[in-house]
């Protein structure tokens, strides 16, 4: 089923309407750009699924491997891509975000590389969306950032560094992985509290309890998947903690 067509917000996009959208809710601005991988066997199946009224999912844009882009929902509409999620106190991420699905099989299909043409298209689209909606770069997020434990996409192979070099997203070079002190599941006390406070300050949905529990480990893994992808193990080693420090220090003043 196809609804009424619309003029694409991004001039280089083709349009295929998804029926799975609604009105945005609340008063907050659209100020998050959420990146996903499709996690299906190929692009056409993913595109069909996102337009299938049975699926109850959609996004604003899908970026195929060859860099071609299809817009499925006007940016003014609320697309259904984030699900149960949290970032910096906000729980209705769908109402506050633009969603981009990037065609990639992901963890279930062998973690293929993202082709260069596709990443170039994502960068150009992300710049355009950010400019049009006043999205600050520290609010260009992974689905796994806002739904840790539940979602892994766009995954640790997604080239956030390449995006950052093109001005998209917030990034500092990760501190090198080395031996040394670390915090892990079962640890307790002030250092764990400090870690949880830093994760929460950056935006992750974390309770500051001083207990390094499963929930904390999934937040640490989500952080690593985005910002220190060479090792994603949920252990807060010194590289992880230093990288988190570096990101917080690099935040613009208004964002702290």
Residue number, 60 or 183, with CB nearest to Zn ion: 60
Burial 83-93 (b: 16+ CB within 10 A, else e): eebbbbebeeb
Q: Which stretch binds Zn ion (CB under 5 A): 4-12, 146-154, 213-221, 237-245?
A: 146-154
Closer CB to Zn ion, 145 or 153, in the complex: 153
Q: Considering just the CA atoms, what is the radius of gyration of the chain in Å?
A: 18
Restricting to residues 39-78, which ones interact with Zn ion according to CB under 5 A? none
Q: How far is the CB of 190 from Zn ion (least distance, A)?
A: 35
φ, ψ at 211 (rounded to 5°): -105, 120
Q: Is the peptide bond before 225 cis (omega within 30 degrees of 0)?
A: no
- Of 64 and 143, which CB lies nearer to Zn ion in the complex structure? 143
Q: Given the structure tokens 């989500």, which residue do they identify? A: 222
Interface with Zn ion, residue 143, by CB under 5 A: yes
Query: Can you tell me which of 153, 198, 204, 241 binds Zn ion, judged by CB under 5 A?
Result: 153
Whether 116 sits among the annotated catalytic residues: the reply is: no
Shortest distance (Å) from residue 70 CB to Zn ion: 17
Residue 9, both tokens: 């917000």
Task: State the nearest-atom distance from the C-beta of 237 to Zn ion, in Å.
Answer: 27
> What whole-number distance in Å separates Cα of residue 204 and Cα of residue 95?
18
Give the single-character DSSP code of 138: G
Query: Rule CB under 5 A: is residue 36 a binding residue for Zn ion?
Result: yes
Q: Minimal distance in Å, beta carbon 236 to Zn ion?
A: 25
Q: Which residue, 158 or 212, has its beta carbon nearer to Zn ion? A: 158
Give how far the C-alpha of residue 226 lies from the chain's centroid of Cα atoms, to the nearest Å: 8
CB 212 within 8 Å of CB 184 = yes
Binding region for Zn ion (CB under 5 A) out of 36-44, 48-56, 177-185, 247-255: 36-44
226 touching Zn ion, by CB under 5 A = no
Looking at the Cβ atoms of 83 and 252, the one nearer to Zn ion is: 83
**Token pair belonging to 175:** 């501190």
What six digits make up the tokens of 133?
A: 């909606």
- State the minimum distance, in angstroms, from the CB of residue 95 to Zn ion: 16
- Catalytic residue selected from 101, 116, 156, 242: 101
With contact defined as beta carbons under 8 Å apart, do 67 and 121 qualify?
A: yes
| CB 50, CB 64: distance < 8 Å | no
Give residues in contact with Zn ion (CB under 5 A). 36, 143, 153
């Amino acid at each position: 089923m196809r609804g009424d067509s619309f003029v694409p917000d991004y001039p280089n996009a083709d349009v295929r309407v998804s029926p799975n959208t609604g009105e945005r809710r609340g008063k907050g601005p659209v100020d998050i750009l959420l990146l996903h991988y499709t996690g299906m066997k190929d692009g056409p199946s993913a595109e069909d699924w996102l337009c299938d009224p049975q699926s109850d999912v959609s996004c604003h844009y899908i970026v195929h491997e060859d860099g071609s882009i299809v817009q499925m929902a006007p940016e003014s509409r609320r697309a259904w891509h984030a699900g149960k999620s949290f970032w910096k106190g906000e729980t209705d991420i769908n109402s506050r975000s633009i969603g981009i699905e990037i065609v990639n099989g992901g963890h279930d299909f062998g973690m293929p590389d993202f082709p260069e043409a596709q990443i170039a298209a994502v960068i150009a689209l992300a710049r355009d969306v950010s400019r049009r909606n006043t999205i600050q770069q520290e609010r260009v997020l992974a689905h796994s950032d806002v739904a840790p434990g539940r979602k892994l996409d766009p995954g640790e192979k997604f080239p956030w560094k390449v995006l950052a070099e093109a001005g998209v997203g917030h990034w500092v070079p990760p501190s090198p992985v080395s031996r040394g002190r670390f915090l892990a599941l079962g640890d307790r006390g002030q250092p764990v509290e400090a870690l949880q406070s830093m994760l929460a300050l950056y935006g992750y949905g974390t309770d500051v309890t001083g207990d390094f529990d499963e929930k904390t480990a999934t937040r640490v893994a989500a952080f690593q998947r985005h910002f220190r992808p060479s090792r994603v193990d949920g252990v807060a080693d010194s590289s992880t903690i230093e990288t988190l420090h570096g990101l917080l220090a690099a935040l613009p003043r208004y964002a702290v």
